[in-house]
Structure 1
Amino acid sequence: MSEVLLQAAGLRLAFGGVRAADGIDLAVMGGEFLAIIGPNGAGKTTFINMTTGYLRPQSGEITYEGRRITGMAPRAIVKLGIARSFQLPQLFLEHTVEQNLALAVASREGIWSPLAPLRRPRYREEAHDLLERFGLAAIAGTRADALNEGARKLADIAMAVALRPRLLLMDEPTSGVAASEKMAVVETLARVLREAKVTAVFVEHDMDVVERFADRVAVWSQGRIAALGPPQEVLADPAVQRDVIGIERHPATPEAPHA
């Protein structure tokens, strides 16, 4: 049985009268792909922000590998082995894809100069290896502002993987990606992350993606976890279909009696 990698216990956070986290309890198991689904405003991104240090819960705690990380700064959390990607890709648009990856590799070692990483062969070599793994080698010399959304998402997540995390949190990795590209993008992500033995938590609205790639699904509703379990079980729940997926099941109409 996998060990608990990340544990959230009793997380609460309110913005005015809105409860973004209202007693969140969740254990993320090592090696799993956990999907978080739910309507807009349910608190999904708030959970990622608390886990990665961008927000601090008003109560409750988060532990990673048994160590309390509640309230730690984002950079300190990254150094422990937790990385994230954002809904909007965070790329240096004036740089090429390879240069973006080289900068990410260098930042892992605490080098933040915009030029030094681009001059050192070992950073470029590691960047090229990541590009090969993510299927981006053919566009290594392309500026980030010329990429389509699918390639931008892959490059953004490749930069997160360059940090060598053990846990990666992704906020809507298929947001903005063309429907014809979604499955290919997620297949690439899943392959690379599983090969690297990276545990993944991802917020997602495409239920086909969730059903195909998630090991477990957590349903967020008004700052709480309303359901948690295997995708086949959770996505078949009538309440989840009605409130999250948007399917209303009506009782069958009884047949009229025969004359």
Structure 2
Amino acid sequence: MSVLLEARGLRLAFGGVKAADGIDLAVMRGEFLAIIGPNGAGKTTFINMTTGYLRPQGGSIHYDGEEITGLAPRAIVKRGIGRSFQLPQLFTEHTVLQNAALAIAARRGVWQPFAPLLSVGVIDEARELLSRFGLDGIRESRADTLNEGARKLADIAMAVALRPRLLLMDEPTSGVAASEKMAVVETLARVLREAEVTAVFVEHDMDVVERFSDRVAVWSQGRILALGPPGEVLRDPEVLREVIGVAAPHA
């Protein structure tokens, strides 16, 4: 696999707190990379720098061979990088279908809020997109009536509507009921792999990380503590102790 995204020596501090302290990371094309670590370790800061919401004080970010350090979020989206947030960013007063249609219209460069909804092409694409996410049955429901699992899927469907080649997700299972988590992530993984979208996701549920990631990057105090396959990283004694918060089993 070739490198799609590469961070080189990223540095960013808020006062005396180092949110990024020399981050070097290469994301390979087609992989699912999980980012784990304690609160305040710098995980979301990395996503924010990559998607243009924060500018690093040092280092650089390269995407598909082009430097994108400090570009505005809209410019980064146009280059093929999508983003979903910990809290779904939906138009709550609109239906799921309308939300998807608005995202598709934005990708096509149509900025009048309601004109796109009259376009058969946009509506058909929105229906097809929601079908891929298993949301056919709720497409006429208002976003503010959905449970958290459905809201997460609808939110990420809007990000996928922009046709990214790389999608960064900040805690895609946050707030989702334990009984729904695996089904939600299975749907996300299926849709993204079918669309050949590379995914980077921050996650706290280690069962989700172990089951769905190809590699795991462990953040600690603005640095990468460990990087590798989940079966290896999640059994590392230092990771178990410092990040997951359990003692390593005795040999």
Q: Please, what TM-score do these two structures have when normalized by structure 1?
A: 0.95
Amino acid at match of 1:8: A
Larger Rg: 1
Amino acid at match of 1:81: G
Give yes or no for the alignment of 1:111 onto 2:110: yes
Cross-structure match for 1:256: none
Give yes or no for the alignment of 1:99 onto 2:98: yes
- Aligned counterparts of 2:120 and 2:171: Cα–Cα separation in 1: 33
Cross-structure match for 2:198: 199
Could you tell me which runs of 5 or more consecutive residues in structure 2 were left unpaired when the two chains were aligned: none
Cross-structure match for 1:190: 189
Secondary structure at 2:152's aligned position in 1?
helix
Q: Alpha-carbon deviations, 1:122-181, whole Å to 9, x = none?
A: 111110001100000110100000000000000000000000000000000000000000
Secondary structure at 1:197's aligned position in 2?
coil
- Aligned counterparts of 2:240 and 2:25: Cα–Cα separation in 1: 22
Tell me which stretches of 4 or more aligned residues in structure 1 moved more than 4 Å: none
Cross-structure match for 1:49: 48
Show the 5 A alignment for 1:141-152: 141-152=140-151
Show the 5 A alignment for 1:1-259: 2-249=1-248, 251=250
Q: Alpha-carbon deviations, 1:209-233, whole Å to 9, x = none?
A: 0000000000000000000000000
The answer to which of 242-251 and 10-19 deviates more is 242-251
Q: Please, what TM-score do these two structures have when normalized by structure 2?
A: 0.98
Amino acid at match of 1:151: A
RMSD across aligned C-alpha pairs, in angstroms?
Answer: 0.9
Question: 1:52: Cα distance to partner?
Answer: 0.3
- Aligned counterparts of 1:177 and 1:155: Cα–Cα separation in 2: 13
- Aligned counterparts of 2:92 and 2:242: Cα–Cα separation in 1: 38
Question: 1:250: Cα distance to partner?
Answer: 6.5
Cross-structure match for 1:257: none
Amino acid at match of 2:2: E
Secondary structure at 1:228's aligned position in 2?
strand
Identity fraction in percent: 79
Secondary structure at 1:102's aligned position in 2?
helix
Question: 1:120: Cα distance to partner?
Answer: 1.1
Shift in CA distance, 33/120, structure 1 to aligned 2, threshold 3 Å? same
Amino acid at match of 2:214: D
- Aligned counterparts of 1:20 and 1:171: Cα–Cα separation in 2: 16
Question: 1:112: Cα distance to partner?
Answer: 2.5
Question: 1:114: Cα distance to partner?
Answer: 1.7
Could you tell me which runs of 5 or more consecutive residues in structure 1 were left unpaired when the two chains were aligned: 253-259
Secondary structure at 2:9's aligned position in 1?
strand
The answer to which of 210-219 and 236-245 deviates more is 236-245
Q: Alpha-carbon deviations, 1:11-65, whole Å to 9, x = none?
A: 0000000100000000000000000000000000000000000000001000001
- Aligned counterparts of 1:176 and 1:112: Cα–Cα separation in 2: 32
**How many equivalent pairs are there?**
251
Question: 1:248: Cα distance to partner?
Answer: 1.7
Question: 1:242: Cα distance to partner?
Answer: 1.4
Question: 1:251: Cα distance to partner?
Answer: 4.9
